[in-house]
Amino acid sequence: MLAYIVRRLWQMLPTMLGVVVLVFVLFNWVGGDPAYILAGKMANADSIANIRRQLGVDQPYYVQLWIFIKQIVTVDFGLSWATSEPVANIIATRLGPSLTVLVPLTVLETLIGIALALAIAFVRGSLTDRAVMIACTVGMSVSILVYIIVFQYGLAYKLGLFPVQGWDGLRYAVLPILIGLAVSLAPTLRLFRSFVLDEVGQDYVRTARAKGLSERRVMWVHVLRNAAIPILTYVMSNLPALLIGAFLLERFFGIPGIGREVILAVERSDFPVIKAITVYVAAATMVANLLTDLLYQAVDPRVKLS
* Amino acid present at 217: R
Q: What is the CA radius of gyration of the chain?
A: 24
What class is the 87-299 domain? mainly alpha
What's the pLDDT at 111? 93
Q: Rounded to 5 degrees, what are φ and ψ at 86?
A: -55, 135
- Residue 164, judged by CB atoms within 10 A of its CB (0-12, 13-18, 19+), counts as middle
> Structural domain boundaries of the chain?
2-74, 87-299
So what's the pLDDT on residue 110?
92
The model's pLDDT over 215-265, given as tens digits with 9 standing for 90+, comes to 788 888 788 888 888 888 888 888 776 766 677 788 888 888 888 888 888
For residue 166, the one-letter residue type is G
Cβ contact 272:79 at 8 Å: yes
User: What mean pLDDT comes out for the span 32-48?
Assistant: 67
**113-125 mean pLDDT:** 87
- For every residue of 121-148, DSSP letters joined together read HHTTTSHHHHHHHHHHHHHHHS-HHHHH
Average pLDDT over residues 49-73: 79
Q: Is 79 helix (H, G, I), strand (E, B) or coil?
A: strand
Q: What is the pTM of this model?
A: 0.80
Measured between alpha carbons, how far is residue 81 from residues 77, 113, 158, 258, 267 in Å?
11, 42, 41, 17, 12
pLDDT digits (tens, 9 = 90+) for 131-172: 999 999 998 888 888 888 898 888 888 888 888 777 877 788
